[in-house]
Structure 1
Amino acid sequence: MDKLIEILQRKFGYSSFREGQEEIIQQVLKGRDVVAILPTGMGKSLLFQLPAYLMEGTVVIVSPLLSLMQDQVEQLKMLGEKRVVAINSFLDFEQKEFVLQNLQAYKFIFTSPEMLQNERFKKALSNIEIAYIVADEAHCISQWGFDFRPDYLRISTWLKTYPNLRVLALTATATKKVIQDIKRTLHMKDPYEFIHSLDRPSIAYEVQELENTQEKLAWILGRILATNGPGILYTQSRKKTEFYAEELRNRGVRVAFYHAKMEQEDRVLIQQQFQQGELEWICATNAFGMGIHKNNIRQIIHDHIPTSMASYMQEIGRAARDGEQSIASLVFTNSDVEQAFYVAMQDFPQEDDIKLVYQSEDKEIQLPETTFRILNYWKEILTEQETTKLFNDIKAKKWTEIQQLFNLFRNEQCIREQLLNNFDEQLKERPVNCCSVCSFDLHRVLTKRIEQDEERKQLNWKNRLNELLP
């Protein structure tokens, strides 16, 4: 039996590879740098997990989200792998000390870009054999992307101390420009590129322009109450996630809200309940999604214009992992484009912020933490004028991108085709249920919501008890 297939079956329980997986793994084993763009749900984790069992040394995975990190650690442990750890803020001082003193014992080390700036951690890493480094969600590296975490860019400096280290960059969405940023920042040498089609034929696209927020609420409640999930309702504010969840719960839907300000334990519980089918719907900000292993999500609803095409494609990509018909619906009003830009610019450095950081000697400048860290990074390598120009350019580009997305949803052209074109891809074949512009049968895409049997049973028991105990 082929060695790769043998490990695939024995370690991971799969009988065959998905498209692209085997080619990418072979390139990693050959010692090449690799950039792999695969849609959500295509098994990106396997690409760095499997080759580790055929190579000496430890795999270091740099990941942007604590919840994603923890989920991947738990997934590996469920597969029987004990030599795995996440080094992040969840570890207390004693736990962190133990891990750092025994770093060579781990096969998989998950960490954040921020931890790579920790001198103690960097020294501990320098004393072990590293097989290769993985940049997960690598689109975050691009300064033109939608995530401006400067410590992702500092990975570049850290990698200079490992000139011969293999790098595997993984993400679900990236334009040609972002791919170039990734290759440059990670110092990749003639990398192998695998770019999977972003098209998901089993997801139909639906767009509705409405008059006001009242119409939005009525549309959303009507859709969720009338049709089957499971589904995710994405909104832009924490307050709205709670509002929608309460409205739906009052109408008998098994639902929970999810946002970044919740306690980690509560977020993990909600993820588990959703994955196990105990919840029909999640009302969430974009904090929800990464690390969610649920194959049968039938609906994704957005009540707003997203702040980027990449984030939109990632969010809708959480539907239809089982290949069954699903739908991505978006409802918006004319004023949503300004709201999207406002959300995108939160914590974004303004000219006054830049001037304050460059000209003040005060170490306790009162700025949002994200803004302060971004500007501290650029202060190290650019002048004040260069930094001002950089962020004015980024701001202008972000406004243009949001406007393009807004116009895409409003015009009379195929939604699927336009989205793919944005990622330098041509639509090869139009599915029967494509989008609300060109071909679409809502009755075939959606099924009527069925009340849960368990709820009916509980109600019947209550009725029976009432009869027995008048």
Structure 2
Amino acid sequence: MANLEQLLEQHFGYSTFRPGQKEVIEAIIEKRDVVALLPTGMGKSLCYQLPGYVFNRPVLIISPLLSLMQDQVEQLKRFGEKRVIALNSFLQMSEKRNVLQHLGQYRFIFTSPEMLKNSQVQAAFRQAQFALVVVDEAHCISQWGFDFRPDYLKITDWMDAVNRPPILALSATATEAVVKDIKAYLHMSQPFEYIHSVDRVNLHYDVVQLEKPIEKAPWILAHVLKTHGPGIVYTQSRKKTAIYTERLLSNGIRAAAYHAGMEAEDRQFIQQQFLAGQLEWICATNAFGMGVHKDNVRQIIHDHIPSTVANYMQEVGRAGRDGQDALSILLYVQKDEDMTKFIITEDIPQERHVEQYLEYTGREENPAVMLDMHQISETGFRVLSYWMQRLAPQEVQQKLVDIRLSKVSQVDEMKTMVTAQKCIREQLLHYFGQSLNEKPNQCCHYCGIEYGVILKEREHLETLGYMPSWGERLSVLLPNI
């Protein structure tokens, strides 16, 4: 076996591994399938990056978001790696063809689950002889596969079941049920598992119960004006991202809105400004965060009940990556969970959609006409098509009912954690099948918490109104020009 410490120093400049990294890497080099659950900030990417320098064949990384791919590609380039590419929609058709024709010249190839359904990509990948296939943020298989992005359930369809490369599934958070889904849908064979505690002792959890929804925006403004960021305000509404941002800007706080309805270039620009410290606060939907590696985020504020405890953990885990104290605040008004339930079940196909699908196929028409007739959303049609091709119609009906009930139940679990008046940290660990050994000071709302101990309070806002010029902003995005 290669001297891993020597390779670590040579390629990444580190002298020692973080907990779990070496064990995972050794199992990969032994060509075993691996499930690795490492908390945010524990260096999950190194678990496939270092093996890439042991093998003489390319490593394929399946990633959920374009921004995450681009971030990982840029990170490798900063370490001096040139043989890296992201095979995604940012490439022109001619560029994609060139990449597929020369896969062997790359050490790291990033792509998405949706790209894997392309027949040309599948054919090229079968010939590529990958040393390793990595599924990054593997919890998305369970979180998104059944009712949002069904291509997550088909990740291994293109692989030769006998001669396939080992698979590494990486995530920061996953319950026992999610790990079971990961192993089943990736067809893993007796995988090595490394599961680190999800507890982050430097994160502190607060719940603020308000009387009315209209009290949330004034509370957020008053709090941000009193305390230091950087921070992220998570909301469910694109409109609210703009409302919160406008209020912060008008009070001298450098802030920007971020949501999936914005152009990709604008989202990338705002992300880079936040990373560079030109923005102190981001007001965002859950479209923001995955792949954003900013070590000094001090606060995460939720103005709503997240759809699952796992989602909540993913989002609050974006704070305090530098190991310093960070605060998570969840604002709650009674019945907030009803809005979350409505949002997460809105796109799940219903009984009438199954009947319409059957009517179209019975007339030998393409059921995709349902989209043209505005009978179903794009997400709903993707989900419906996936299950209609795999189950009998009655089974599809039951599957969709089960999905809806499961999602509603997960919201109720999140509400219980917020309102149970029990230690939030202890509840979080219990959700992931783990136990709390010792509570840190300023643990959570129910154990006792003081903002002044965790956060620095502002003394003035004299410099916060400054916004860099366009030239200065572009110099951050394009440093070599």
- The bucket for the TM-score relative to the shorter chain is over 0.9
Written as runs of structure 1 = structure 2, the 5 A alignment for 1:324-363 is 324-361=324-361, 362-363=365-366
Which amino acid in structure 2 is aligned with residue 365 of structure 1?
M
Q: CA RMSD in A?
A: 1.9
Distance 1:145 1:178, change over 3 A: farther
Residue of structure 2 in register with 1:380 after alignment: 389
Cα deviation for residue 354 of structure 1 reads 2.2
The residue identity in structure 2 corresponding to 1:257 is A
Structure 2 match to 1:443? 452
Cα deviation 1:144-191 (Å, max 9, x = unaligned):
878631111112322344544200001111111111111111111111
CA gap of 1:430–1:145, structure 2 versus 1, over 3 A, is farther
Give 1:46-445 correspondences, 5 Å limit.
46-142=46-142, 148-161=148-161, 163-361=163-361, 362-363=365-366, 364-366=369-371, 367-445=376-454
Residues of 2 paired with 1:143 and 1:39: CA distance?
17
**SS at structure 2 position matched to 1:138:** coil
Question: Measured at CA, do residues 342 and 391 of structure 1 come closer, stay the same or move farther in structure 2, by a change above 3 Å?
Answer: same
- The alpha-carbon deviation at position 357 of structure 1 amounts to 2.0
Aligned-partner SS, 1:157: coil
Aligned mates of 1:184, 1:146 — CA distance in 2:
13
Q: Is the 8 A contact 2:309 2:413 kept in 1?
A: no
CA distance in 2, matches of 1:455, 1:35: 44
| Counterpart Cα distance in 2 of 1:332 and 1:308 | 15
Secondary structure, in 3 states, of the residue corresponding to 2:128?
A: coil
What letter corresponds to residue 313 of structure 2 in structure 1?
Answer: M
Q: Percent same amino acid among aligned pairs?
A: 51
Retained in 1: the 8 A contact 2:58–2:106?
yes
- Which residue identity does 1:238 align to in structure 2? R
Distance verdict in 2 for CA 1:237–1:297, change over 3 Å: same
Length-normalised TM-score, structure 1: 0.94
Shift of 1:205: 0.4
Report deviation, 1:121: 0.9
Q: Tell me the secondary structure at the aligned position of residue 159 of structure 1.
A: coil
Count of matched residue positions in the alignment of Structure 1 and Structure 2: 458
* Cα distance in structure 2, aligned partners of 1:111 and 1:48: 15
Comparing 61-70 with 359-368, which one deviates more in the overlay? 359-368
Q: Aligned partners of 2:256, 2:353: CA distance in 1, in Å?
A: 37
C-alpha contact (below 8 Å) 1:11/1:79 kept by paired residues = yes
Conservation of the 8 A alpha-carbon contact between 2:126 and 2:158: no
Contact preservation (8 Å) 1:141, 1:182: yes
Which has the larger displacement, 437-446 or 219-228? 437-446
The answer (yes or no) to whether the contact 2:62–2:134 under 8 Å persists in 1 is: yes
| Counterparts in 2 of 1:450 and 1:43: CA distance versus 1, 3 Å | farther
**Scaled by the length of structure 2, what TM-score is found?**
0.92
Provide Cα deviations, 1:356-403, integer angstroms capped at 9, x if missing partner.
223323322122221111111111210111111111112112111111
